[in-house]
Amino acid sequence: MTRGSNDEVIVIGGGVIGLTTAVVLAESGRRVRVWTRDPVERTTSAVAGALWWPYHIEPVASARAWALRSLEVYEELAERPGTTGVRLVDGVLGETALDEVAGWASARLPGLRASTADEYAGTGVRARLPLVDMAAYLPWLRGRLLRAGGSVEERTVSDLAEADAPVVVNCTGLGARELVPDPAVRPVRGQLVVVENPGVDSWLVSTDPAGEMAYLFPQPGRLLLGGTAQDDVWSTEPDPAVAAAIVRRCSALRPEIAGARILEHRVGLRPVREAVRLERVSLPDGRVLVHHYGHGGAGVTVAWGCAEEAAALAAASR
């Protein structure tokens, strides 16, 4: 016998996927509680560079659909950047040909075009995309949830059975590896360096011939430099040698970065899986469990589209 009303939902996980799913559920009339191990500001999502673009996520077709739905939301939120932390910013995606993205993105990104030689030395596409300041966005998202009647509780969950609501949504990201358990979800380590912005006002993503990635994301009052994608590396401690290499690669793209004062080092573990797990499971006691994790490096990019599908699976229980 379950406690709580039929409208009650517990969302486990307070990152961008968990919070967005909770918002969608709460705004549809459900009574939502979020259980999060870490404060919202210290989740993996808080480390994200947070440029809207599907990255390190499967299946590609679903990810693109979720991303395009999320784009609609971010474009609306970008009308209030000071409140939401979402801005539309121009930049170049390097090592990408226009025909690689035109088939799925051009209809929604009318300004999408090949970059010029002045904008980028290699092959690239120029686009105006949402760039999200996670330091502002995550607290705003939490506030939106609270305004919709939801709640957030810091709580460590060691067994999904601890959540005794009629509907439980598992948005634990990498934590699902032990909690479910699901060994298919694994870490891809990302490290970035935060510096004072020397005047960079556009974003840039580049990959050198050796496969090393560099990106520059201007955020209010600072510039985020990245990055890395280290498979199956669990360390969350910044590596000084990696940080120096990041600054070196980014300075090669924009020389003015070389002397920028370093403000902070950040490390996050992307929850990568061979495919996002978005699945409804009926438990033996009649309750419903919705798995919603494994979004890799694209959690922010796909959050709203994916959350709506997760909420629809949860609604099937009513």
Annotated binding-site positions for D-dopa: 215, 270, 297
Binding site for FAD: what residues are annotated?
Answer: 44-45, 172, 296-301
Which residues are CB-contacts of 281 (< 8 A; sequence separation ≥ 6)?
Answer: 288, 289, 290, 291
| Letter string b/e over residues 10-21, b meaning 16 or more CB atoms within 10 A of that residue's CB | bbbbbbbbbbbb
Residue showing tokens 């609604």? 315
Closest CA to 295 of 85, 29, 43: 43
- Amino acid in the structure at residue 222: R
Look-up: residue for tokens 């009926």?
A: 282
Binding-site positions = 44-45, 172, 215, 270, 296-301
Report the first-to-last Cα separation within the chain, whole angstroms.
16
d(CA 14, CA 3): 22
Per-position DSSP letters for 4-52, written without gaps between them: S-TTEEEEE--SHHHHHHHHHHHHTT-EEEEEESS-GGGSGGGG---BS
